[in-house]
Amino acid sequence: MPNAMVALATTTLGSTASSVTFGSIPATYRDLRVIVNCAVTAEGNIQLQVNNDTGNNYGQLRFSGYAGSSINSTATTTTSVVTNVATGMQTSSRGLNIYDIFDYAQTDKQKVILCKGYHSDELDVISARWANTSAITSVKVLAGSNFTVGTTISLYGIVS
Amino acid sequence: MIGSLWFNSFSAGGGGAAGDYELIATSFGTGSSGSVTFSSIPAGYKHLQLRFTAIATAGNPYMGIRLNGDSGTNYAYHYLMGTGSSVLSNGATGQTSAINLGFIAGINTSIPTAGIADIQDAFQTTKNKTVRTLNGNTGELVLSSGVWINTVAVTSVNAFLQSGSFTTSSRFSLYGLKG
């Protein structure tokens, strides 16, 4: 049988960039996975938006763990899926975010995005909802500042 | 240079070359049943992974996973749940038909609960079977682990609701990972 997870695109930055967008994503797959292995030039949050939607349409529930404090859970509605709140992944401390976007091309349901975010100061686990039933055709990953040279961002499609 | 990057070029659609992560089957809710079963699972894999988006026809029932149709008291689980205002942790042993293996969030009637359940070493006959899950919607977020106290190979996976049915928008896909 063919491999069910297909690498659609990947980029390793040769220069700093404030965001990376994967556009015109084909509707061929069932789920998407985005892997962000990054560092940033200044403290900030890593964010994910779909279909260039900058509205207040992303509900999210999270666990966050910080060094020296107990785990907490928060619920917010924001303009993006936000990870690494209040701390950053600066050049000496890389971070890894993995986003699973379920049924991205299905128009009978809102879209759920599960995310795990790791770096040396913080652990985030997020369940997010994009309050829209439209098919997702683009995914944008934003640095609170800029992604450094060497940051790698990959997009995968998962068949069903 | 500082700016934004945009990519529009992708691989061809469909599955790629033969690989180590393969789709076994996909099943959808019917609107009249709260149970989805994958049976006669081929044994050519190391691990299994169930990916799902589930919507219930009524209420907020919890979803369970049962292996090989075993409804005996042979399951245990522990979970960490976030509700947005609090963090809960709990577990139980000797489980049968409630939340058998892994604890999966209440299934909303309009907002999908999405999740990934990994069944480790599903075909190894020298160890009990461990399942880990990450699942959630915007009401609950759950990390869980469960065990099925049985060393036989997994041949069927059943996802079921405590009550009600899966809507026709519910989707379950089972994958095999080689190793």
Encode pLDDT of B41-61 as tens digits.
Answer: 999 999 999 999 999 988 888
To test the contact with chain A by mutation, choose from B107, B132, B141 the residue with the greatest count of A C-beta atoms within 10 A, namely B141
Chain A residues lying within 8 Å of B2, measured CB to CB: 15-18, 146
To test the contact with chain B by mutation, choose from A61, A66, A78 the residue with the greatest count of B C-beta atoms within 10 A, namely A61
Chain B residues lying within 8 Å of A129, measured CB to CB: 111, 137-138
Look at residue B40 and tell me whether its pLDDT is greater than 60.
yes
Q: How confident is the model at residue B110 (pLDDT cuts 50, 70, 90)?
A: confident
Pairwise CB contact (< 8 Å): A61 & B53: no
CA pair distance B139, A106, nearest whole angstrom: 22
| pLDDT tens digit sequence for A27-64 | 999 999 999 999 888 887 899 999 999 999 999 998 88
Distance from B36 to chain A by nearest Cα, in Å? Answer: 16
ipTM: 0.92
CA pair distance A32, A104, nearest whole angstrom: 7
Q: Which of A5, A9, A146 sits opposite B21 (nearest CB)?
A: A5
pLDDT reported for residue B7: 66
Mean pLDDT of chain B: 87
Q: How confident is the model at residue B99 (pLDDT cuts 50, 70, 90)?
A: low
pLDDT reported for residue B12: 47
Query: In percent, how much of chain A has pLDDT > 90?
Result: 69
pLDDT reported for residue B1: 43
Q: Residue B149: how many CB atoms within 10 A of its CB?
A: 14
Contact B100, B92 (CB under 8 A): no
Residue A119 or residue B149, greater confidence: B149
Residue B102 or residue A19, greater confidence: A19
Most confident of A10-14, B73-77, B140-144: A10-14
Structural Rg of chain A based on CA atoms: 15
Q: Which of B18, B112, B139 sits opposite A109 (nearest CB)?
A: B112
Structure tokens at A45: 């949050």
Residues sharing a CB contact under 8 Å with residue A70, sequence separation 6 or more, in sequence order: none
Q: Which of B42-56, B86-100, B144-158 has the lowest mean pLDDT?
A: B86-100
Mean pLDDT of chain A: 90
Chain B residues lying within 8 Å of A110, measured CB to CB: 111-112
| pLDDT tens digit sequence for B23-36 | 999 999 999 999 99
Pairwise CB contact (< 8 Å): A61 & B138: yes
- In angstroms, the Cα distances linking B159 to A87, B9, B26, B55, B170 are 38, 37, 13, 13, 11
Distance from B148 to chain A by nearest Cα, in Å? Answer: 25
Q: Which of A2, A26, A100 sits opposite B18 (nearest CB)?
A: A2
Residue B8 or residue A98, greater confidence: A98
Amino acid at A156: Y
CA B63 to chain CA mean position, Å: 9
